[in-house]
Chains A and B, each alone.
Chain A
Amino acid sequence: MAIDTRSSTSAGGAEEAPGGGRSPRPPSPEADVGTKDIPGRLVPEMTASPNTTREGDVRFEAEALPFIDDVYRFALSLTRDAADADDIVQETFLRAYRSWHTFQPGSDARRWLFTITRNVFLRARERERRHVDLEDGDVEAASTFATHGQMVRDGADQILSRVDLAPALRRALDELDEPFKSAVLLVDLEDQSYEAASQILGVPIGTVRSRLFRGRRILQDKLITYARDAGFTTAQRGQRGTKDD
């Protein structure tokens, strides 16, 4: 994964913003990182930061480093590639260390690290990013439950209570495109509030909401396909019989 941090200055990866509330931004995790990119791998420049102090270093080790498992899990969910995740984790902690002086004591270090992680990830795949026209969150919410209606009509809703969906949902999450994937990962798997996700993603809460609801709807559409393949729909029942037949 090629990671280019040379021209990055914003915390966000903000693109489309169809309205919604705005939240105060966390301190910028984008201080000068001092990295250089070579094809395929990220090689950090090993120069000391002028902004670090012994006391700051001790605090960094105590308050930021314990979240390395959380950062790794988030990076791995985003990339689905262990080597890429390793690169992102290393880059995340280097950036965090170099901009530690901007971190406000007492604020949420995990959230701050997630912000950096997502920015590193986005920079790494900036050219691949898909710009998506987003609908209003309310429309997304309503269409989600239209999907539920379809599941009930098909008999696919049985799958919710009869099958361990976690493996199917992990596969569906792997296939979910950005920017929906990050919203779902942060809110549904990492228990972040809409406001926290908005700060991490650098977009308004309304955008988080619409991305989240769209992501959930896409996952549910994938579950319908999964249910159909597993023989849980009336269509299948009519054609080939069900697992109960």
Chain B
Amino acid sequence: MTDCKEGIDCRTAVQQLWDYLDDELTPERMSEVRVHLERCRTCLPHHDYARVFLAALSSARDSDARAPEALRRRVMDSLRAAGLNT
């Protein structure tokens, strides 16, 4: 798959690439994947692609979505009817 000879192999790196980008690996394994990516011409494009994809996905969040005023009133009315006393 690649000419990498040291550290983790490409199979391991690819299997953990999402975890790496999500910052979900141990510090040691984060370092191993990072070192592999710095050296591997096969895996680095996968990493770059995945990073762009995740950035695009994050931007798909509708940050402007706000609960409508009528819903806020409805929630408060139901909470007060259920006993909320503030």
Could you list which residues of chain A lie within 8 angstroms of chain B, going by C-beta atoms? 44, 46-49, 52, 54, 57-58, 60-61, 65, 68-69, 71-73, 76-77, 82, 86, 89-90, 93-94, 97-98, 138, 141-142, 144-145, 148, 151-152, 157, 160-161, 165-166, 169-170, 173, 184, 187-190, 193-194, 209, 212-213, 216, 219-220, 223
Interface of B is mostly: helix
Q: Could you mark each residue 18-46 of chain B with 1 if its beta carbon is under 8 Å from any beta carbon of chain A, else 0?
A: 11001010000000000000000000011
Task: State whether A169 touches B60 (Cβ < 8 A).
Answer: yes
Interface of A is mostly: helix
Could you list which residues of chain B lie within 8 angstroms of chain A, going by C-beta atoms? 11, 14-19, 22, 24, 45-46, 49-50, 52-54, 56-62, 65-68, 71-72, 74-75, 78-79, 81-86
Report A150 CB to chain B, min CB distance, Å: 12
Q: Which of B52, B54, B75 contacts A90 (CB 8 A)?
A: B75
Task: State whether A184 touches B57 (Cβ < 8 A).
Answer: yes
Task: State whether A138 touches B15 (Cβ < 8 A).
Answer: yes
Task: State whether A89 touches B56 (Cβ < 8 A).
Answer: no
> In the complex, given contacts A46-B78, A97-B84, A189-B58, what are 13 additional A-B residue pairs having Cβ atoms less than 8 angstroms apart?
A46-B81, A54-B85, A72-B67, A73-B61, A86-B68, A89-B67, A94-B79, A98-B82, A145-B46, A165-B60, A170-B62, A193-B24, A219-B57
